[in-house]
Structures are given as C-alpha cells and as structure tokens.
Amino acid sequence: MCWKISEGKVKILLVHRTQHKDVSLPKGKLDPGETLPQCAVREIAEETGLAITLGAPLGTVEYTMPNGRSKIVHYWQAEVGQLAIANSTFVSNDEIEALQWVSLKRARRILSYAHDVELVERFAERLERGRARTFAIIAVRHGKATPPEQWDGPDATRPLIPKGCEQARGIAAGIAAYRPVKLITSNATRCVDTITPTAELLGMPVKETETISQDAYQAGNDSVQKVVHKRLAHQRTAVICSHGPVLPELIGEIAHVTGTPIDEELRRATMLATGEFSVLHVSLEHPEGGLVAVETHGPAL
C-alpha cells in the first residue's frame, strides 16, 4: 500500500487494471528465486514505476479466484516521497491503465474488492494510532558455515560453506527492500561474508565489531545492549548480522526497550536458522509503544 502526505492529507495509490476493468491495490506474483520483500518492491516498480522502500507489513489477504484456486497476498505499507513520484516511469499499458492517488474515504468507495477495503482499514487504524511511520532493525543470522569439528583455526575464522554463500546471496535483495542506512556485523568471518552481498548490492560499507560476536557473548563481555540502544536512538533502519546464541539477547533487548511483550511471533524471530533474517518495525512517533510489526524471512534459493 503506497501512501503519501499531500497538502496535509493522507492519500493512497490505487491501480485501474486494463483487462480486469477493476480498481485495486497494486500486487503481483512471486518469481522463482525471490524473497517476498524483494517481490513486493519489484512488482510496485513494474506496475507503478515507483522505487519504494518497504515499511511495516499489513498482513495477508486470502481469497478464492474465479477458477477456484485459493490465493494468498502479502502486503506492506510504503510511504512514497515526492522525488520517487516525480521519477516514476509509469505509462499506461495492457496491464495497468491508470494510477490514482485518493483519500482513504474515497478508496473505501471505489475499490472493487472487499479484501482491499479491509487493508485500507488496517492502515487507517495505524494512522490513527500514530504508528504508520516506522524504521526497522533487521537481525540476520549468518549463513551455514564450516562445522567447528572440521575447522582447525579459531572459531571466529570459520568460513561459509557453499550453501552458506548461496544463502547470503539469497537474502541480499530481500534485506535491500527496506533500504537500510547502516550495516553492522560481528567480525567473525561467517558473519562478514554473509552481509557482504547485501553491502555490494546497496553500495554501502560494513561496520565490523567484536562486541556482538559469539566469542564476546561466551566470554560475557558483549555489548549487545549498547548496540541496540544506539540503533533505536538513531531511528534509522539498520542491519545487525550476528550469531544464533546472540540474536535472542539482541531481539529481547529491542522488545524490552520498546515495551513489547514476548509473544509467539517475536519468539520465532529470535530462533533464526542460518541465513534467515527478522525485521522488527519500530514506530517513529511512539517507539516505546511496542513494535508495530515483526516479520521473518529466509533466503531465496
């Protein structure tokens, strides 16, 4: 759901589809080798010509198509700036006839499908609570590495195995969909190598630190709390790549500072398999009012 502020009023973007002759929210299909966040950004670019940054997820919609097949659509919100709108490459085509920015009230009237109206209501509720604008902390677990028993050197130097390298490449575009402005990683080789494809895709440097490493955690001198507090204070989307034992402490501290109860979804976010990442969305206006949303994704393989 692309949205913007125009003359002090919130408007969302609707698409008029050429062949279906309907009005809906933009959406599309997952291509092989894509993560869901990557797909969302690509489909918006293809249908509307807009380069977007994903915000918090709005959940899913499930419905049955005319041919009897069931369909599940995953939605996010994305605030669109004037520069992105000015640079839109959209032209009317055989899929999308026209784009239309409308108020929430008008969207409720002209949308062709009840499930789209339901999403408008979800977004309207966030707006009313001052939780529409967010930033994210993206917690990443390194890809699959050489087992300790098969490595003669220090644990921190264990490299990724080919599957781990593939996982690192498979999550890069998904992480990039949230446009992080800071990439932080444990200085362990397996973590540095995991975040490198994301850094290359974004053209960004990586900050390596021992303070969130497994060695520091096991020695009891890690600085996870300090790192979390700094990222929350900066209120800008950042990636933190670390280890299985460290991530529960990291995410637990985010939950503590934001006043978020540990529920099943958040617990799942702490139990990442190698190559997975969790995105924790924090309200810019009310950061201590609980996380706005939590989502977890694996690599596209």
- Read off the pLDDT of residues 25-83 as tens digits, 9 standing for 90 and up: 999 999 999 999 999 999 999 999 999 999 999 999 988 877 888 889 999 999 999 99
155, exposed or middle or buried, with CB in 10 Å at 0-12, 13-18, 19+? middle
Q: Measured between alpha carbons, how far is 297 from 79 in angstroms, rounded to an integer?
A: 22
Number of domains present in the structure of the chain: 2
Structural domain boundaries, residue 178: 134-297
Length of the chain: 301
197, two tokens? 């494809």
109 and 66 together in one domain: yes
256 and 293 together in one domain: yes
Residue 160 per-residue DSSP state:
B
How many other C-beta atoms lie within 10 A of the C-beta of residue 13? 23
20 and 48 together in one domain: yes
156, two tokens? 């921190």
In one letter, which amino acid is 84?
A
Residue 198 pLDDT greater than 80, yes or no: yes
**Domain termination site, one of 97, 128, 159:** 128
Confidence label for 301 from pLDDT (cuts 50, 70 and 90): low
**Domain termination site, one of 128, 154, 176:** 128
**Domain termination site, one of 128, 155, 190:** 128
222 and 245 together in one domain: yes
**Nearest alpha-carbon partner for 267 in 287, 244, 248, 242:** 248
162 and 282 together in one domain: yes
Q: If you average pLDDT over every residue of the chain, what do you get? A: 95
Per-residue pLDDT, averaged over 273-287, amounts to 97
Q: Residue 244 sits in a domain of what CATH number?
A: 3.40.50.1240
162, two tokens? 């080919």
Per-residue pLDDT, averaged over 139-157, amounts to 97
Query: Beta strands of 145-237 (E only): which ranges?
Result: 182-186, 207-209
Q: Measured between alpha carbons, how far is 196 from 169 in angstroms, rounded to an integer?
A: 9
141 and 258 together in one domain: yes
138 and 56 together in one domain: no
Q: Measured between alpha carbons, how far is 166 from 299 in angstroms, rounded to an integer?
A: 8
Q: What is the pLDDT of residues 165-191, one digit of tens each?
A: 999 999 999 999 999 999 999 999 999
Per-residue pLDDT, averaged over 262-268, amounts to 93
Per-residue pLDDT, averaged over 206-227, amounts to 94
pTM, to two decimals:
0.95
In a 3-state reduction of DSSP, which class is residue 273? coil
Per-residue pLDDT, averaged over 210-214, amounts to 95
Query: Beta strands of the chain (E only): which ranges?
Result: 2-6, 9-17, 22-24, 57-64, 70-76, 78-79, 96-103, 134-141, 182-186, 207-209, 238-242, 277-283, 293-297
Given this model, what pLDDT does residue 64 score? 82
**Nearest alpha-carbon partner for 280 in 271, 1, 131, 290:** 290
Given this model, what pLDDT does residue 68 score? 84
Q: What is the pLDDT of residues 224-264, one digit of tens each?
A: 999 999 999 999 999 999 999 999 999 999 999 999 999 99
In one letter, which amino acid is 55?
G
Confidence label for 221 from pLDDT (cuts 50, 70 and 90): confident
Per-residue pLDDT, averaged over 6-22, amounts to 94
Given this model, what pLDDT does residue 69 score? 86
Given this model, what pLDDT does residue 300 score? 81
